[in-house]
Structure 1
């Protein structure tokens, strides 16, 4: 049997190895400072190349995933499609706003207490790459989003099968690039970033923030699920806690697969047991697996605020709200691979929040640390939204054969 290490463990190993090497290399007499400087610069060179390629591919990711996604939405049945899309988007935006206010309330004081006096600095500047290589994207992120919407809506309105086929093949092609190039190289990219931070003496502060953000995000996930199922239970007159218990198998399946798409069979099976009609669940659950990412949004917003505060940047709500709204749209472009959501959001992080290459790498590391929990929250919330949509649609086949304690 072939043994395979999961992405999250590869990232953990990369971070641990970077810290160990960053601390030990300068202390080994036979190696010395000259080799350490060269090794860190070599890692910085790889990061420069990988970061440039990532910036280049982001507009293509947006076009390849959002365009056919919007075009396919046009194939749905009117009212049901509209309600499902509206509730999914509202849930995602609410999740982002909750994450913003929670993160801005909890993180500034903690990160401020980890001032420079709390971190042993080596007194070195960050290592630079051996050379610079410019990889200019074919268009900006906003241009890619606008083009994706124009093409997607246009294809849906005229029912174009030929163009849809082209963009579906582009979708497959770009997903292969993500799955076989970007995702496998992410641990090396994160290794370089953490090696550089250890080299400059900043790694202790970063790891401390990682721990707090991780705990905060998990708590926010369960708060969001409680809100979703309280609303669903109130509308359907069912016990929200038994509804959450019914969807628990989908949550734990997603923890293992890290994929909303791979969890669809379990999510669909459990959603039918909540009392929502077969008509609604059969249509909405596969759709929500693509467009409803409340858990991932909580993670992205919380992690991005943590990274910005570490870099002394402003996190005003007036600046962040447009990012949250655009993030809800960009999540449609999230590829169905572990870490796909943060890759899809990279363009917005750079264009709207001003992230640089190091900040993007920190963001990816923070996000990947709990990607499976975000995915589990996404799919579990899908069950609540299916119940809510069912309440607002006329359906003749709504199930009522629930156990008494589910009411």
Structure 2
């Protein structure tokens, strides 16, 4: 009887998500009205992830630092270096792809109620203000930079507390983690609802006028995912990088593709790090930090769409300017919010390098929202899966994993 039941194990979460994806596509084709209705499942799933992520970050980081053992290394410095190298490399890949396969846009007037930052200084100022944010406000608005700052401060203070208090914090962290795992189990239903409603309401017909631009964007992201990141990991770890890279894309990238939010995917990445056997003191800090500053996909989006606007206007771009654009795109990407379309509002910042007016730049942002049905999903998948790739690579390089 035991042997019989063991042969009918539930399929893995990834397989369940794929089944949900296929079911969503079929429902959208067969019964569009019903597909729109089940979109509520996707909304609930994403909302649940966004609800648990801020408290997870605050509690887990606090507990990890409070119970950190003296002399235990976390390799955060190395992970930060990998984040910076990966984001800058992605920006350069985006620039190179735009030179090899130049794109042009059909610019139209686009209304937008959102404001874009006026310069790098404003981006850095915003990051600084996030650090000193009120903790309650940071929780309510999912300000992960502010939450990290408060978690680090609380964790350091609690290191001097009694063992009973530190155990209580650790138990609370375990309880929140249990809730997160419960939410993650809803991923197949969430993906089913997201895909069905998206195809039923929008379809992919709106993308036909921008197929070339999409091809450049997705091609650059795929190159970074399957060539750029593995090359960085191979240099750092001196191991075959593809088992790690492919697993991260499968278990983190797929979910991120549909949630379209690096912030919402934090719980998924935390669980993946746990399954990979990574040290909690490391990933509890590095993963939420990566969701904020490790933005390879955003760097590609900013550089490619900016150069598409430049080509449309007939401006010439020399190599030094292209390199400067790569740096600006990388820095700007670090200031992109971990929500759907977060990178698009940094495009006017990069366009300012070429003297492109804000009115034209916001039209480019509008184009970005049109192609965002696919672009933003692929961007988030690259961003989020790379967080775990670099955390694991840093630990492998030190012989921990």
Is TM > 0.5 for Structure 1 vs Structure 2? yes
Check whether the contact 2:95–2:326 (CA below 8 A) recurs between aligned residues.
Answer: no
Equivalent residue for 2:338?
A: 336
Matches within 5 A, 1:234-245: 235-236=236-237, 238-245=239-246
Residues 278/253 of structure 1: CA separation in 2 closer, same or farther (3 Å cut): same
Matches within 5 A, 1:68-217: 80-107=75-102, 140-145=118-123, 147-148=125-126, 163-165=132-134, 172=141, 208=209, 210-217=210-217
Residues 286/385 of structure 1: CA separation in 2 closer, same or farther (3 Å cut): same
Deviation at residue 218 of structure 1 after TM alignment:
1.5
Equivalent residue for 2:55?
A: none
CA distance in 1, matches of 2:121, 2:396: 38
| Gap regions ≥5 residues in structure 1 | 7-71, 120-125, 130-134, 156-162, 176-203, 400-407
Equivalent residue for 1:223?
A: 223
Residues 251/98 of structure 1: CA separation in 2 closer, same or farther (3 Å cut): same
Deviation at residue 288 of structure 1 after TM alignment:
0.8
CA distance in 2, matches of 1:3, 1:378: 30
1:383 to 380, 388, 392: 388
SS at match of 1:358: helix
Deviation at residue 138 of structure 1 after TM alignment:
12
Residues 128/271 of structure 1: CA separation in 2 closer, same or farther (3 Å cut): closer
CA distance in 2, matches of 1:271, 1:150: 28
Residues 230/139 of structure 1: CA separation in 2 closer, same or farther (3 Å cut): closer
Equivalent residue for 1:372?
A: 377
Check whether the contact 1:307–1:363 (CA below 8 A) recurs between aligned residues.
Answer: no
Residues 364/392 of structure 1: CA separation in 2 closer, same or farther (3 Å cut): farther
Matches within 5 A, 1:223-302: 223-226=223-226, 227-233=228-234, 235-236=236-237, 238-247=239-248, 248-274=250-276, 276-302=278-304
Check whether the contact 1:95–1:294 (CA below 8 A) recurs between aligned residues.
Answer: yes
CA distance in 2, matches of 1:79, 1:173: 24
Residues 276/317 of structure 1: CA separation in 2 closer, same or farther (3 Å cut): farther
2:329 to 327, 330, 337: 327
Equivalent residue for 1:355?
A: 356
Q: For this pair of structures, how many residues does the alignment match? A: 269
Residues 236/275 of structure 1: CA separation in 2 closer, same or farther (3 Å cut): farther
SS at match of 1:313: coil
Deviation at residue 336 of structure 1 after TM alignment:
3.0
Check whether the contact 1:236–1:387 (CA below 8 A) recurs between aligned residues.
Answer: no
Deviation at residue 352 of structure 1 after TM alignment:
2.2
Matches within 5 A, 1:59-70: none
Give the superposed CA RMSD: 4.2
SS at match of 2:285: helix
Check whether the contact 1:323–1:352 (CA below 8 A) recurs between aligned residues.
Answer: yes
Residues 330/380 of structure 1: CA separation in 2 closer, same or farther (3 Å cut): same
Check whether the contact 1:261–1:289 (CA below 8 A) recurs between aligned residues.
Answer: yes
CA distance in 1, matches of 2:387, 2:213: 24
| Gap regions ≥5 residues in structure 2 | 1-33, 41-60, 145-205
Residues 166/212 of structure 1: CA separation in 2 closer, same or farther (3 Å cut): same
Deviation at residue 265 of structure 1 after TM alignment:
1.9
Deviation at residue 147 of structure 1 after TM alignment:
4.0
Deviations 1:98-149 (A, max 9, x none): 11112112216xx5xx9xxxx9xxxxxx9999xxxxx9x9995344246457
Deviations 1:196-229 (A, max 9, x none): xxxxxxxx9x965x21121122122121112212
TM-score where L is the length of structure 1:
0.55
Deviation at residue 256 of structure 1 after TM alignment:
0.8
